[in-house]
Amino acid sequence: MSNMMAVFLNGIAQLEYDRNKLMPDHQAAYLDKMDAKMDAGIFLDGEMIANPDLNQRTRFAAANLASALKNSDESMAAAMCSYMAIRMPELKQVKIEDDDGEISIELIFDEEYRKQVAVDFTGLH
């Protein structure tokens, strides 16, 4: 079983998170701060959720991750990816599709991530 989680945007791997690597204390503290902020409630799918459960928090993080990727906000994307990987260890893949601004997000729990392999076409004639 892999301890990797991957984030895809339109079918292309954007981020990988290896749960086997230790998280620095300051990053763990940041995740705790995120949880504390979410304790006050989150806005998800057009409604305010006063006491979000773990699934709702993960979907909220995924929506923020999609926004961060779209806006090339690498630090926010990394934070959201870390949050989902650490708080929901059974999550294997996050698949984000952006169809002209229409965003859909799928959380995958039953399909291990396999690294994509780059193919070098420069040597082909």
Mean pLDDT of 35-62: 94
Asked whether residue 81 carries a pLDDT value surpassing 60, the answer given is yes
User: Domain extents for the chain?
Assistant: 4-108
Q: Is residue 65 within 8 Å of residue 84, measured between CB atoms?
A: yes
Give this prediction's pTM. Answer: 0.85
If one compares 88 and 111, the residue with the highest pLDDT of the two is: 88
Can you tell me the distance from the alpha carbon of 47 to that of 17, in angstroms, rounded to the nearest whole number?
30
Give the per-residue pLDDT at 102: 87
If one compares 117 and 59, the residue with the highest pLDDT of the two is: 59
Tokens of 55: 């699934």
- Among residues 119, 84, 105, 104, the alpha carbon closest in space to that of 4 is found at 84
pLDDT tens digit sequence for 12-22 = 999 999 999 98
Asked whether residue 82 carries a pLDDT value surpassing 90, the answer given is yes
Mean pLDDT of the chain: 89
